Each structure stands twice: as structure tokens, then as C-alpha cells.
């Protein structure tokens, strides 16, 4: 293929760096966060700094983040990484919060641990574990609704940045939806991929949809220190 053709194809695609937020105390406790506003813990702040350093030399044209603090703080660490500023790498002036990048809403189950849900709501726990696509906890969101929300959001954002690279900072459920969209897997399919805190995931968007470039890169973490926790709610 000629260079001109390759360049034309590149201009018709948007490169996406999809990052789950750094660790929180509730991640450690396996407590359901959903739309609740939980801060990063010390490990999570360290993870955010490391992912910011890892991406310091990558040109980024826009950074979109869930408005929830654990994600937004992670996004800020990427945007303002000292190594990025020192290298004068192209960077947007600010992080743009986006409500549609929030975690799945878990309704009345938010704030509970898995052990509490299993003990207090065994039937709902069974539907959750079985990945029923249409079940939603009271006041919450189904897997199908989450997937549709994320697909619409990504199409909206990526279509504004053809030929550019953007960052999306969000949550485990959002990362799971992105992986399934990129690999054309249903929401019911068992999960075999990791959704680690502050792992780097690479996707390519075109008007035809998402494709997977790379997933779960945690090479920016020291061996045995700050290793990302896998998501427990998907």
C-alpha cells in the first residue's frame, strides 16, 4: 500500500488510550462504587502518576474523563505529568469531564461489599454473576444500557478527533464495555480479560466501529509494587 493511502487511512481513524482510574480503598474492600464519589488511595495516586509518566511522550489531542473524582484525578495526573511538561509533548489545556463515561449505576447496591450483597440479596447476586443483559438493580443500570451508553459516547467523542489520539479515563465497567465492543463480544459472554487499575488499553475507532490494538499494559508498574487490581463488578 502506498504511503498516501496509509496516511489517508490514518486520517480516517481515531486512536484511543483507554485508562481505568487508579486504585481506591473501596477497590481493596470489594465495595461497589458505581456513581458514588470515592477518592484514590495512596496506591491509586501512585498508579496515576506512573501512567502519566508512561504516556509522557505520546501526543494527546484531548483528554476526556468521567467526572467522578477517582477518574478525574487520574486524568489530571496524565495531563500534568512532569515528564510530559518537560518534554513539551502536545497536550490539551485541560481535562474535559464527561458524565457518559461514568461507571455503571448499581442503584441500591452501591456502597455494599460483595459479601453483603451475597448475604442480603442472593437472587440479585445470581442475576449479576450470571450477566443477565437486561437485569438492573433497583435505581440502577443494566449491562445492555451501559453498553449502549458507552457506544454512543465513544462515537460522539472519537468522531471529533479523526487522525488524532485521545485519552478516555473511566471505570472498570466502561473498560469492559469498550473491550466487548472492540472484539464484538456480547455482554453475556464470560470475561477472560483483565480490567486493571491504571492499565493502558489501546483502541482504534473508525466510523465502522472500534478495534483492539493492545490491552492491559501494566509495564509502567514496578514488579510487585502497586500492581493493579482486577475489576470485581463485571
From CA 66, how far away is CA 100, in angstroms rounded? 7
Pick the catalytic residue from 49, 103, 124, 231: 103
Residue 165 C-alpha cell reads as 489520539
Residues shown for the chain = 234
Please say if 103 is a catalytic residue. Answer: yes
**Cα-only R_g, the chain:** 18
Q: Is 21 a catalytic residue?
A: yes
Strand order, beta sheet including 95-97:
95-97, 62-65, 165-170, 14-20, 200-206, 209-217
Cβ count near 165 (within 10 Å) = 17
DSSP 8-state class, residue 22 = P
Residue 118 has which C-alpha cell? 451475597
Catalytic positions, please?
A: 21, 103
Amino acid at each position: 500500500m502506498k504511503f498516501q493511502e496509509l496516511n489517508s487511512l490514518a486520517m480516517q481513524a481515531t486512536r484511543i488510550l483507554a485508562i481505568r482510574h487508579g486504585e481506591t480503598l473501596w477497590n481493596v474492600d470489594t465495595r461497589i462504587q458505581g456513581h458514588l464519589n470515592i477518592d484514590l488511595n495512596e496506591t491509586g495516586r501512585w498508579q496515576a502518576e506512573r501512567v502519566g509518566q508512561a504516556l509522557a511522550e505520546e501526543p494527546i489531542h484531548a483528554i476526556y474523563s468521567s467526572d467522578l473524582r477517582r477518574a478525574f484525578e487520574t486524568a489530571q495526573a496524565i495531563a500534568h505529568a512532569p515528564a510530559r511538561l518537560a518534554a513539551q509533548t502536545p497536550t490539551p489545556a485541560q481535562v474535559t469531564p464527561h458524565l457518559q463515561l461514568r461507571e455503571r449505576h448499581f442503584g441500591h447496591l452501591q456502597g455494599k461489599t460483595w459479601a453483603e450483597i451475597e448475604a442480603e440479596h442472593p437472587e440479585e447476586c445470581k442475576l449479576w454473576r450470571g450477566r443477565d443483559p437486561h437485569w438492573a438493580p433497583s435505581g440502577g443500570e443494566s449491562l445492555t444500557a451501559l453498553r449502549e451508553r458507552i457506544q454512543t459516547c465513544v462515537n460522539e467523542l472519537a468522531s471529533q478527533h479523526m487522525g488524532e489520539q485521545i485519552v478516555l479515563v473511566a471505570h472498570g465497567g466502561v473498560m469492559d464495555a469498550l473491550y466487548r465492543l472492540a472484539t464484538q463480544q456480547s455482554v453475556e459472554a464470560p470475561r477472560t480479560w483483565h480490567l486493571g487499575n491504571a492499565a493502558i488499553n489501546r483502541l482504534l475507532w473508525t466510523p465502522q466501529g472500534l478495534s483492539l490494538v493492545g490491552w492491559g499494559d501494566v509495564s509502567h508498574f514496578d514488579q510487585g509494587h502497586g500492581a493493579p487490581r482486577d475489576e470485581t463488578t463485571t
